[in-house]
Chain A
Amino acid sequence: MSVTLYHWEPNANSGKPMLTLAEKGVAYESRYLDLLQFDQHKPAYLAVNPDGTIPAMVHGSRVFTESTPMMEYIDDTFPGPKLKPQDPAARWRMRWWMRFFDSYFAPSLSMIGWSIFIGPAARQRPPEELQAAIDRIPLESRRIAWRKALFNEFSAEELAESKRRVLFATLALEKHLSRSRWIAGDTYSLGDINGFNLGYALPLSQPEQCNDMKTPHIMEWLRRIYERPAARETWAMGQTQMAARIKILERNPRAPHA
C-alpha cells in the first residue's frame, strides 16, 4: 500500500510525519501544499481532508489528519527502527512531552511566528482576496486564527503572553533535557521528532532565550537531531527560507564535535 503525504514546509505539524517517515525509511509520495497560497483550503485538498488542516497522510484507503497520533501510527505500522521506547513509563513521558509541545509550547510560538512571518507575507495581496480566502476555510477555529494572522489582529497583550509562555516552556524543556538525554529518556523517539519540529529555529527566533549559555542542553539536543541523516534529508525538501533556518544548528566546523 502506498503512502501519500500532503504537507507544507518541514516545520511544525507538517514536519512531524515527514521526519518520522524518513527515520523509518518509508518511501512516500510528497504533495507539497503552499500554505501562503491557501492550497490547503482548495477543493482538491478538501476532498482529502474536509477540515482543511495540514498535514494529511493517505495510506491505502485510510486518511490521517492528526499529526501526533499519525506519528504513532507510522511507527506502529511500518518496519524500521522503533521510535517509541519499550518501557511504559518512558512511553508515557514521550506522550506527555508531545502534548506539552503541541498544546502549550507550539500555540504560543506559532502566534509569534504568524505575527511576524505569515501575516506580513500574506498581506502582500489585496484584502478582498484575503477575505475570500478566509471565507473558504471550513473550520471556524481556523477561520479565527487566519483572520487574526492575516489582518494583524493579535493584541499586544496576547503577544506578550505568548512570549512569556515561550520563555517558560523553553526553561522547562532545558530543565528536562538537563536530566534526560532524549525526551523519553535514553533513546531517540517520536518525542524528539515532535520537539525538533517545534524548536529547531528557536536559537534564531529567540536568540536571547535559547543559546549556548542559557540553554546548553537544548542546543546540544537540537544539534544531535540535526546531524541525523533523516533530518538532513527532510529539511532538504524545504522550498522556502523557512526551512533554511535550520543552518543555525551547524556546528562551527573548526570546533571539535561533542
Chain B
Amino acid sequence: MLKLYTSEPNTFFFKPLIALAEKNAQYTTHYFDATNFEQFAPDFPSDLESGLQLEREGPLLVHGETIISSTSFMLEYISESLPGPSLVPGDSYDAYTLRAWAQYLGAQLGSIVPVLGCAKYLKPHLASLDPATVDRHIAAIEPIERRAGWLALRDGTYSPGYLKTVNERLAAPIARVEKALQDGRWLAGPAFSAADIDAYPMLCVLPDLAPATVNQHSTPRIMEYLARMAARDSVREALRTAKTPHPEQQFVPGIEASRWG
C-alpha cells in the first residue's frame, strides 16, 4: 500500500516521482492542485510531522500507516524501503556528500527557488481569484510559519528590493554546484544518486526564473547537467504525470529563509 499525494511535477513534488520511477515502483497517486489550496481539504493525511514539515508545501508518501514528508528524506526512504536499485551511494563518504548537499541546497535553493517561482507565477494566479476566498483559505492555514509563506504573497513582502536580494542569494549555491560539476558528472560520487534527484528539480527551473545567473555562458556545467538529467527515463516519466501544459510554472511557498539574515 503505497500512495503518493502529489501536485504538478515541479520543485518538491518532482522529486519522489523521479525516485519512484527509478525504482520502477508500483504505487497509486492522489493528485491535488497545490496552487488552489486543495492540500488543506479536511480529509488530507496529516500527523505531527507532516503538519510541521519545513518545506511547508510538498508531497506526502503514505506507506501503510506511515506518512512520509520532507522530500530529501523521502528520497532516502524510497531508496531504503523499496526493491530496486539503491539511490544512496554505498560508499559512506559519497553518502555523506549526498546528505551534505541535501542540507545545504535545502536551506539555499529550497528557500530561494519557490520565492522566485511564486513571484513570477503564483502571485498573478492568486490575484486572478476572488480575493475574499483566497484570504479566507490563507487565514485558516496552521501553523503560523506555513501561513506566512502564503501571506507574503499578499502583504507586499514581494517588493522589487526583496526579490533582488533573494536573486542575489542564488549566487553562492549556484557557484558551489557549478564547481562541483567541474569535478564530476554527478553530485555525490561517480554515479547518479538521490543527490541528483534532490537537486535537479530546484535547478531546472532557474534558466527561466533567474536567467542572468543560470545560463550557457555563466554556468555551462549546470546547463549540461540539466540536459543530462532531462534525458533520463525517470525524469521523462515523472513529467508525464503533469495535468497542466506547463508544470514548470506551478509554484507554491517553500522553505523559510534563515531568520538569522
**Same complex origin of A and B:** yes
A residues contacting B by CB (< 8 A) are 62, 64-66, 68-70, 72-73, 76-77, 88-89, 91-93, 95-97, 99-100, 102-104, 107-108, 111, 140-141, 144-145, 148, 158, 161-162, 168, 172, 175-176
Top 10 nearest A-B pairs (CB, nearest first) are A69-B99, A88-B81, A76-B92, A144-B261, A88-B80, A66-B100, A73-B96, A95-B73, A92-B77, A89-B66
Interface residue tally of chain B, by bracket?
Answer: 20 to 34
Is the beta-carbon distance between B68 and A144 smaller than 8 angstroms? no
Is the beta-carbon distance between B99 and A66 smaller than 8 angstroms? yes
Contacts A107-B260, A141-B258 given; does A92 touch B96 at CB 8 Å: no
Our pick among A93, A95, A99, A107 for the contact of B259 (Cβ within 8 Å) is A107
Contacts A69-B96, A73-B96, A76-B95 given; does A96 touch B49 at CB 8 Å: yes
Contacts A92-B77, A99-B70 given; does A108 touch B92 at CB 8 Å: no
Closest-by-CB residue of A relative to B52 is: A172
Closest-by-CB residue of B relative to A66 is: B100
* Total A-B pairs, Cβ < 8 A: 88
Query: Inside 8 A of B80's CB, which chain A residues have their CB?
Result: 88, 91
Is the beta-carbon distance between B259 and A158 smaller than 8 angstroms? yes
Is the beta-carbon distance between B77 and A104 smaller than 8 angstroms? no
Closest-by-CB residue of B relative to A162 is: B259
DSSP class of A's interface residues: helix, strand, loop or mixed? helix
Interface residues of B in 40-66 (CB under 8 A from A): 48-49, 52-54, 63, 66
Query: Inside 8 A of A73's CB, which chain B residues have their CB?
Result: 92-93, 95-96
Subset of 25 A-B contacts with CB under 8 Å: A64-B96, A66-B96, A66-B99, A68-B99, A69-B96, A70-B96, A72-B99, A76-B96, A88-B81, A91-B77, A92-B66, A92-B68, A92-B74, A92-B77, A95-B76, A96-B49, A96-B69, A99-B73, A104-B52, A140-B172, A145-B261, A158-B259, A161-B259, A172-B52, A176-B48
